[in-house]
A and B are shown apart, each in its own frame.
Chain A
Amino acid sequence: MKRTALSMLLLGAVGIAHAGAVDDLLGRYADTGAGPFDARRGAAFWQAPRPGSDGGSRRCADCHGNDLTQTGHHVRTRKPIEPLAPSANPMRLTDTAKIEKWFRRNCDWTVGRVCTAQEKGDLLAYLRTL
């Protein structure tokens, strides 16, 4: 009984942290004039192939994989990448600094530029549903 209560408390805490980080960022993006944010637009952005600087085509799934509840692999080094879906990996989308760091790095590789506040908001709106 005690254990169940503790588990629920812990689950609740994770849920709150999750909502906190994403909501915090969506709020910040909205402050810059972006929004409203749309999960379907985020999904389309996630799936769109784009020309890479090496002449090939690049997609988010190149590293994260097609099923975000599964482990992906870095396209160059083959290093396993933990599932991005919060349902499969509760630590995802819980840290605003980490989210911004990976947007900075990965938008650069995949899209060839920084993502706009609108794009990042749409992506988060999509990813939080997974």
Chain B
Amino acid sequence: MKIATLTLAALLSSALLLSACSEGRADDDRDDQRAASGFTGWLQRVAHDDDDADTRTRLQTAADPRYTEECGACHLAFPPGLLSRADTARLFDGLDDHFGDNASLGPRLTADLRTFALANAGWNDRATTARSDPPRITTTPWFVREHDEVPARLVTGNPEVGTFVNCTACHTRAEAGSFREGEIDIAGHGRWDD
């Protein structure tokens, strides 16, 4: 009897917890007015950090225009907060073979931008450590989780997008460090609503 009551209580708590979680996510997905929706919001939740301003700062890249200029030449100047410190260090230590491209910058600029990126790198190692070698943002747990409902035909099978690394093809304000769900407009497809 006692065991049955405990089991029931545990089941009820789990159900409540699950519904709270899904409620939270649904609210989050619907609410574009919140500064921290989409993956920004999730990053905050996994980090147990509710300081929106802090997250926005970490997703900003404009703080060092050289970062935007150099890292943004071949791809979006990814907000450093999207990748862990250790992974960021690995990337900066191997810029002469950067995913097959020579992205070398010279020693002084490399050191400066490395310092900037490390100071603003992802602080939640579990969420922002890549599962690939070399470390790709697209293999970090938060990225995978945030994009797991996006069908391949809209990205890799979509000639106007082609690859998940092409953030700006869907995230219309990615260059401003904003990835809110309401801003998503998938090239060749349209608005995204999950």
Contact = CB atoms under 8 A, between A and B. Distances in A.
28 contacts: A54-B100, A74-B75, A76-B74, A76-B99, A76-B100, A76-B165, A77-B74, A77-B75, A77-B76, A77-B163, A77-B165, A77-B166, A78-B162, A78-B163, A78-B165, A78-B166, A78-B169, A79-B73, A79-B74, A79-B76, A104-B102, A105-B101, A105-B103, A105-B104, A106-B102, A108-B102, A109-B100, A109-B102
Main secondary structure of the interface of B (DSSP, over half): loop
B117 interface: no
Interface residues of B, number: 17
A53 B166 contact: no
Contacts of B169: 78
Contacts, number: 39
B186 interface: no
Interface of A: 53-54, 74, 76-79, 104-106, 108-109
B161 interface: yes
Nearest to B166: A78
A79 B165 CA distance: 9
Nearest to B72: A79
Given A77-B163, A77-B166, 11 more contacts: A76-B74, A76-B100, A77-B76, A78-B162, A78-B163, A78-B165, A78-B166, A79-B75, A105-B104, A106-B102, A108-B102
A125 B104 CA distance: 25
Contacts of A105: 101-104
Interface string B131-162: 00000000000000000000000000000011
Interface string B83-111: 00000000000000001111110000000
A74 to B, nearest CB: 5
B74 A104 contact: no
A61 to B, nearest CB: 16
Nearest to A107: B102
Contacts of B73: 79
A76 B76 contact: no
Contacts of A54: 100
Contacts of A79: 73-76, 166, 168
